[in-house]
Amino acid sequence: MPDTLGRPERSPLPDDVAQGLEIAMSLATSIGTVDTLDWAARLNDLGYRIASVSGDDATPYSFAILNLDEPNALALPGGFIFVTRAMLEMELTNDELAHLLGHEINHVRQHHFERAARLGAIMSLARAAVTMGLLMSSRDRQLSTERAEVSPDPGLRSWAYGMTGSEALLQASALFGSVLQALFERGYSRGLEFEADETGARLAARAGFDPDAGVTLLEKLHARSYEGHRYSYWRTHPYFAERVRRARVRSAHQRASAKVPDDSAYRERTALFFASAAQRLHEEDQALFLYRRALACEPQRLASHATALALARFKSRREANQPPLRRAYGSLVAAYDSLIAIAERDDPAWSELPAAREERRQLQRERDDEHSAYLKAIAQRDAPTEILEHFVENYPDDARYDEASYALGVHEALTGKAPAAVERLLGLAAEGGAWADSARLGLLQAIPELKEMAPCCRLLDDSLRVGADSLGVRIRAAARQRMDDLVEADFSLEEGSRFLATCPDSPWTARVREKLASKAETAYRNGRVHEGLHQYQEALDAYYEVLAYAPESTSAAEAQAAIDRIHRGTIED
C-alpha cells in the first residue's frame, strides 16, 4: 500500500525474500500447489536436510510442489523452491531428489537469478499477473458480461479492474503464461549450470546422500524429456552431455557423509522467521502464504505450536473483518481444537495453552451469539449459498442442519457442483431423518448434472443407501441411465483411466476399456505424426499419456517402443 506521498511502502522482508515471495505467490495462485502430506513432508525433509549444511543461514528456504505436468524445478530469490508434480511422479529416489534440491539451493546461494539478469522483467510480469489474479477471484469470476466492481483499495476483496470476467481470464492467463515462459524457457548459462551442479552435489554428499545419484538423476530426467521442448527440464537446465560427464567424474571422487545432519535447529529458526515475518505483513494473502511455509518447516516440534497458534489468530482476525454471517467459525474452532489436542499431548505445560483454550471459548461464544441471525437467514426462500455453507459448517449439531444441508445440496446441483451435491444428499438420504425423502428427490435433480463417470458409478455402488422403495428404484434407474449416457459420450484418457481405477468391476467397465483402447490408439497415432515432424517432445507427451492412462492397451507397448526409439536417437547424438 502506498504511503502519503504515493510511494510504495517498503516491505518488512529482506529484498530478495520480498521479490521471491511476489513471484512464488504468482505461481501458486495461477497454477496451484499440491498439498499431499506425504509428498510435502518428503520434500521438506530432504530440502531442509540439505539447506542445513549449505552454510546459508541468512536465507529462509521453503519447498513446495507446483501442479504442473512437466518434470521441472525452479529456485526463486529468497529461497522459494518449487518442484513440479510431474517431477515427483517420476519416482526419484531420495538420493536423486536430494541432488535435484541441492542444485536448486545452489542457484539461490550463488544468486544465479540476479546474475542471469532475469529479475526485473519477471518481477514486472508477476506483479501484473497477481493483479489479474485478484480480478479473477473477484465477484465477477463466473465469466459474466457485467463489468466488475472497482474499488480504490486493493486490500478489499471486491477490488477489481473494470473488465468482464472473461476478459480478465484471458488477460490473466496470458500474463501467467508470460511468467512461466520467463521462468522456465530461459535456461541459465553453461557456467551457472555447472556451478549449481558442482556445489549442489557437494551439498547432497555433505548431507549424507549417495554421490552416484547425481548421475542417475540426470539420466532419468533426460529419458523423460527431450531437450528441444520449451518447458522441459533440459531446456531450462541444458548442456546434458557435459553435465553427465562431469557428474560421473565427481561421483568417483566424492563420498557421502556418514553422519546425517540434525536440521532441527535450522528448521526451527526458519519457521520462526516465516511466522514473525507474516505478522509484520499488511497483505493478508502474503501473510497466509508465509504462515503455511512456517508450518511446513516444523510440523511436529514445539516451535510449530507457536506458529500454528499465530496462524489461527491470523485467520481469526481475518474472519473478524467479514460480516458476522460470513464468518467461518467452524473451521476456526476446529483449528484451535487440533492445536490444543496436539499441545496437550506433546507439551501440556506449554505457556500459551491456557490462552489458546480461552480464545477457542471466545470463538464458540461469538458463534453462539450469531445463531438466531443465521436461523432467520436460512429461513428465507432464496437463502444465499454462502450463508447455507457457513451455517452447515458452523452448526453441525443444530436441529435445522439437515434442512440447510438439503438446501445447499440443491444449490450445488444447480451451480455445477453435482458431485458435491450427490455426496451431500446421499448422506442425508442414508441417515433416514425428516429430510431423507427430500434429499432423495434432490438426488434425482443432481444425477443428470454429473459430468464424469466415476462419481456416478460410486453413487450406484452406494445405491442401497437410498432405499428399496419406488423412489429408490427411480434413483438407481436415473443413475444407470446417466452412466449409459456418459460412457457413450466422449471422455478423455484420464477420465477413462480414473473410472477403471474406481469401478473395475462395473457393468460398464468392458465398454470403457474398449473405448479407452481406441483413444489410446488415437493418442499413439498423434504421437507418430509429431515424431514424423521432428516434434519430439509433443510425441513423447502423447506416448507417455498412453503409458500413464492406458497401460494395458496394445498401444502401450507401441508407445514404449517409440519412446525408446526417440531416446536412442537423441541421447546418442
Q: Is residue 105 part of a domain?
A: no
DSSP string computed for 42-107: HHHHHHHHHHTTSS-TTS--EEEEE--SS--EEE-GGGEEEEEHHHHHT---HHHHHHHHHHHHHH
d(CA 424, CA 429): 9
In the block, cell 464458540 appears at: 364
Question: Are 476 and 563 part of one and the same domain?
Answer: no
d(CA 549, CA 562): 16
Q: Say how many residues make up the chain.
A: 573
Question: Are 352 and 397 part of one and the same domain?
Answer: no
Q: Is residue 67 part of a domain?
A: no
* Helices assigned H by DSSP within 110-189: 112-115, 119-136, 165-180
DSSP label at residue 261: -
d(CA 93, CA 217): 9
d(CA 573, CA 570): 5
Question: Are 379 and 469 part of one and the same domain?
Answer: yes
Q: In what order do the strands lie in the sheet with 73-75?
A: 62-66, 80-84, 73-75
513 class by beta-carbon count within 10 Å (0-12 exposed, 13-18 middle, 19+ buried): middle
Count CB neighbours of 99 within 10 A: 30
Question: Are 483 and 498 part of one and the same domain?
Answer: no
Phi-psi region of 55 (alpha: psi -120 to 50; beta: other; left: phi over 0): left
List the CATH number of the domain containing 319.
1.25.40.10
Q: Is residue 50 part of a domain?
A: no
Q: Is residue 412 part of a domain?
A: yes
Specify the amino acid at residue 47. Answer: G
DSSP label at residue 9: P
Question: Are 476 and 503 part of one and the same domain?
Answer: no
Q: Is residue 15 part of a domain?
A: no
- Buried-exposed string 74-86: b where 16+ CB fall within 10 A, e elsewhere: bbbbbbbbbbbbb
- For residue 335, what is its C-alpha cell? 483449528
Q: Is residue 78 part of a domain?
A: no
d(CA 235, CA 221): 12
Residues pairing with 33 in the sheet: 66
Question: Are 269 and 326 part of one and the same domain?
Answer: yes
| Final residue of a structural domain among 420, 454, 489 | 489
Positive or negative, the Cα torsion across 483, 489, 495, 497? positive
DSSP string computed for 463-524: GGGG-SSHHHHHHHHHHHHHHHHHHHS---HHHHHHHHHH-TTSTTHHHHHHHHHHHHHHHH
Question: Are 443 and 341 part of one and the same domain?
Answer: no
In the block, cell 522483467 appears at: 121
Angle in degrees, CA 291, 294, 297, rounded to 5: 155
pTM confidence score: 0.62
Question: Are 268 and 353 part of one and the same domain?
Answer: yes
Task: Find, among 396, 550, 431, 539, the residue nearest to 408 by Cα.
Answer: 396
d(CA 512, CA 506): 10
Residues 6+ apart with CB under 8 A from 26: 126, 129, 130, 133, 176, 179
1 class by beta-carbon count within 10 Å (0-12 exposed, 13-18 middle, 19+ buried): exposed
What does each of the 573 residues of the chain score in pLDDT, given as a tens digit? 444 444 445 568 888 898 889 888 878 877 788 888 789 889 999 999 999 999 888 899 999 998 887 788 888 889 999 998 888 888 899 999 999 999 999 988 888 766 655 555 555 555 554 444 444 444 333 333 333 333 333 233 322 233 333 333 334 444 444 445 455 544 556 667 777 878 888 899 999 999 898 888 887 876 665 544 444 444 444 456 667 767 777 777 777 787 888 888 898 889 888 888 888 887 878 888 888 888 888 655 545 687 788 888 888 888 888 898 989 899 889 889 988 998 898 889 999 999 999 999 999 999 999 999 999 999 988 888 999 999 999 999 999 999 999 999 999 998 889 999 999 999 898 888 899 999 999 999 999 999 989 889 888 887 777 778 888 899 999 999 999 999 999 999 989 988 998 888 899 999 999 999 999 999 999 999 999 998 887 888 788 888 878 888 999 999 989 988 886 764 333
Question: Are 281 and 325 part of one and the same domain?
Answer: yes
Long-range pairs, 531-536, Cβ under 8 A, ≥24: 531/562, 531/566, 536/226, 536/228, 536/229, 536/566, 536/570
Question: Are 347 and 290 part of one and the same domain?
Answer: yes
Phi-psi region of 208 (alpha: psi -120 to 50; beta: other; left: phi over 0): left
Angle in degrees, CA 63, 89, 214, rounded to 5: 70
Task: Find, among 55, 92, 86, 56, the residue nearest to 73 by Cα.
Answer: 86
Question: Are 405 and 437 part of one and the same domain?
Answer: yes
HSE on the CB side for 279, CA within 13 Å?
14
β-pairing, 80-84 vs 62-66, is parallel
Number of domains into which the chain is organized: 3
- For residue 405, what is its C-alpha cell? 444441508
List the CATH number of the domain containing 424.
1.25.40
Q: Is residue 23 part of a domain?
A: no
Helix (H, G, I), strand (E, B) or coil at 8: strand
Q: Is residue 462 part of a domain?
A: yes
Task: Find, among 428, 407, 467, 46, the residue nearest to 217 by Cα.
Answer: 46
Give me the domain span that covers residue 539.
494-572
> Are 52 and 261 contacting, i.e. CB atoms less than 8 angstroms apart?
yes
Query: What's the pLDDT score for residue 196?
Result: 80
| Final residue of a structural domain among 369, 402, 433 | 369
> Are 305 and 314 contacting, i.e. CB atoms less than 8 angstroms apart?
no
Question: Are 297 and 347 part of one and the same domain?
Answer: yes
| Final residue of a structural domain among 455, 472, 489 | 489
d(CA 154, CA 1): 8
